[in-house]
Amino acid sequence: MVLNRWGMGSRFRHVQRVLWHQYMTEQGYIVFCVDNRGTGGRGKAFKDVAYGDLSQWAVHDQVEGARYLSRLPYVDSNRIGFWGWSGGGYLTCMMLLRAPDVFKTGVAVASVTDFRNYDTIWTERYMGLLTDNQEGYEKANVLNYADGLKGHLLMIHGTGDDNVHPQNTLQLANKFITLNKQFDLMLYPNRNHRIHGGNTQLHLFTLISNYFMENL
């Protein structure tokens, strides 16, 4: 199971969901993380290479990481999945759509799907202006790859998300419906980008755990 917690611009920290990842390893899964080109912590050049198209090197490097995994004698190459949240949810969608023969199951939480829907103070820092980079925005648009879905994809979003608007997930869901692509969807009423409060996190991670166990 490959994870990308936040996605673009940030590298993985071992404290993120550590108890849940430990739980998944106890169920027999291998948890693996790739800090692809475009993430921080390795210098400006490593991060800046992703400028203008946040999908190109991220997809390439995550696929290479999965191929490395598949060569290990104790890994079943037919059972590699991906999960992520926010930007990591974006990458999850990209993995399932652009590398469907590599990743069989994905869970995408609070995903960006079209950067035209996301706030400009963040998007333009990495993508430039839409008027100057329409090609890059199209290449990075998940909806343009929706026909590639073959595996199991669960999309999750809080309807009160004020960071990544739920319209991102709903637009992709509508695209799948148009293409007659089967998928799974969970909406958490009034929950924000963190999808928390009360019993919410227990419900959320029970859902994610069961989805992987049933489909991977």
Residues taking part in catalysis: 86, 161, 193
* Location of structure tokens 């921080």: 40
Q: What angle do CA 12, 188, 58 make, to 5 degrees?
A: 30
Q: Rounded distance, CA 32 to CA 66, Å?
A: 9
- As a whole number of Å, the end-to-end CA separation of the chain is 9
Q: What is the CA radius of gyration of the chain?
A: 16
CA-wise closest residue to 90 among 20, 10, 30: 10
**Strand, coil or helix: 181:** coil
